[in-house]
Structure 1
Amino acid sequence: MTETVKAYYDRIGKEYDDDRFGKSSYGQYIHKQECAFLDKWLPENPTQAVLDMGCGTGRFMSRATDGVDFSEGMTGEAKQKFPDKNVHLAEITNTGLPAESFERAFSMHVLMHLDAKTTTKFLQEAHRLLVEDGLFIVDFPSAKRRSFGQRKVNDAHWHGSNAQNATDLWALGNDNWKLISKRGILFFPIHRFPVRIRPFMRFFDNLLCRSFLKGYASYVIVVLQKVR
């Protein structure tokens, strides 16, 4: 399945930003919610070493000093947009970067594509790269939300096929992390609402995503601290 995913992103690299977040009000909605959370933990133009794991075309590279991705098509776009950044072509489970070389790392819209075995390796690599007490910000589709419906998962339907909850993530991470913060992203099925009212709904969406119902949002984003 890895080669399927890589081939897909190599193919769409040049159109990805415009199609997913430029023309799409759905993508813009999610992006603004994500940025509102990331502003607190990952300010733009960081003064400390920050790694974007699965950086793609560089949607969040303004918040990082380094990025890594396995798609040549996507990293090519990231390098063009951020020539002053260090963008590495490598697997996120084996980056080849020095141990304990980053104060913070983050990964957006990546875990959704990984199976349990690969997720464990990915978390191990993030742990290896971070300094003591370093922070890792990562998102994943909510297993609670997915439980409301059935989704067919196979090589032909791999996109976003992985869903988890915090307990699953703890188990896969071998208890090497401490939870610092957690919130939801995209509580409303916004694609079902008219485009013109979506900006007004984001305020209420954000309230629900910070409430006790956060686990039922489409995605969950967590801030983890390396503990050992």
Structure 2
Amino acid sequence: MNSPLNSDSAHWDAVYQKHGNAAGLPAGVSWYRPHLERSLHWIEQLTAGDTAARIIDVGTGESTLADDLLARGYRALELLDLSATALAHLRARLEARFGGAACADVSWRAGDVTQLALPESGFDVWHDRAVLHFLTDPTQRAAYVAQAMRCVRPGGHLIIATFAPDGPPRCSQRDVMRYSEAELAALFAPGFEAVASEREIHTTPTGTQQAFQILIARRR
């Protein structure tokens, strides 16, 4: 049986079909940023600049994180999203910008992160700025945490961004969960140890401000 996430893939395909521009960027969606500065900062810190690090971006959509990682020399990227449309747009943009050779080690995976067969201990960094806060069912959240536990190698790291308690209660016509610093750390304990936490104010393309809570945690 498909999970609620898989059954929502048509919704996200429609979002990415509707929003975008000539540069292949989803500038019309509320979560768009020209660059994910804090994510890039933490990835570089946690990998100590090792461009061979294996990085998964959960809910990658059409964000510029992959562009910026490729530009920095990272190649072992796993780009995962429910929307095959988003991945197709992103792949076309990356290959046009960087060429096929630079993208040869990039993996493209469409589907529900809680159900996909991802490699055990396969990642040094697990990044998510798009998925966890949409998991409003406790069973979904438990499956997500179990997947992260299985897939992040011991000593590897999570970078998770969700809406903060004063963030919006809905996004893209979907209810979301909002997390405090303590709640987000507790969700991944004891398998992950929180090593840092940040609050970020995201300004949407229309000028609205949204509060995010960011967790950086180490796999025990």
Q: Does 1:173 align with 2:176?
A: no
**1:106-117 alignment, distance < 5 Å:** 106-115=127-136, 116-117=138-139
- Which residue of the other structure, out of 51, 65, 70, is the alignment partner of 2:77? 65
Counterparts of 1:33-182 in structure 2, within 5 Å, are 35=40, 38-41=43-46, 46-62=51-67, 63=69, 65-83=77-95, 84=103, 85-115=106-136, 116-143=138-165, 145-146=166-167, 151=169, 157-158=173-174, 161-182=176-197
2:151 maps to amino acid? L
2: CA distance, partners of 1:49 / 1:219: 25
Amino acid at match of 1:222: L
Equivalent position SS for 1:98? coil
Contact 2:185–2:194 under 8 Å retained in 1: no
Q: Is the helix fraction higher in 1 or 2?
A: 1
- Which structure has more strand as a fraction of its residues? 2
Q: CA deviation at 1:39?
A: 4.9
Distance 2:29 2:60 in 1: 20
Task: Report the TM-score when normalising by structure 1.
Answer: 0.69
RMSD (Å) for aligned C-alpha atoms: 3.6
Q: Give the deviation of 1:187 after TM superposition.
A: 7.2
Give the one of 12, 15, 18 matched to 1:12: 15
How many residue pairs are counted as aligned between the two chains?
197
Structure 2 length normalisation: TM-score? 0.71
Contact 1:26–1:191 (8 Å) recurs in 2: no
* Shift in CA distance, 176/163, structure 1 to aligned 2, threshold 3 Å: same
User: Partner of 1:183 in structure 2?
Assistant: 198
Superposed CA offset, 1:34-86 (max 9, x none): 54555544688931111111111243124361111121111212222335111
Residue ranges of structure 2 left out of the alignment (5+ in a row): 70-75, 96-102
Distance 1:79 1:127 in 2: 28
Larger Rg: 1
SS in 2 for 1:57: coil
Other-structure match for 2:217: 224
2:153 corresponds to which letter in structure 1?
V
C-alpha distance in structure 1 between counterparts of 2:59 and 2:92, whole Å: 16
For 1:87, give the aligned amino acid. W
Cα distance in 2 between the residues matched to 1:75 and 1:26: 16
**CA displacement 1:86-110 (0-9 Å, x = unmatched):** 1111211122122011111111122
- Structure 1 spans left out of the alignment, 5+ residues: 194-216
**Identical pairs, percent:** 12
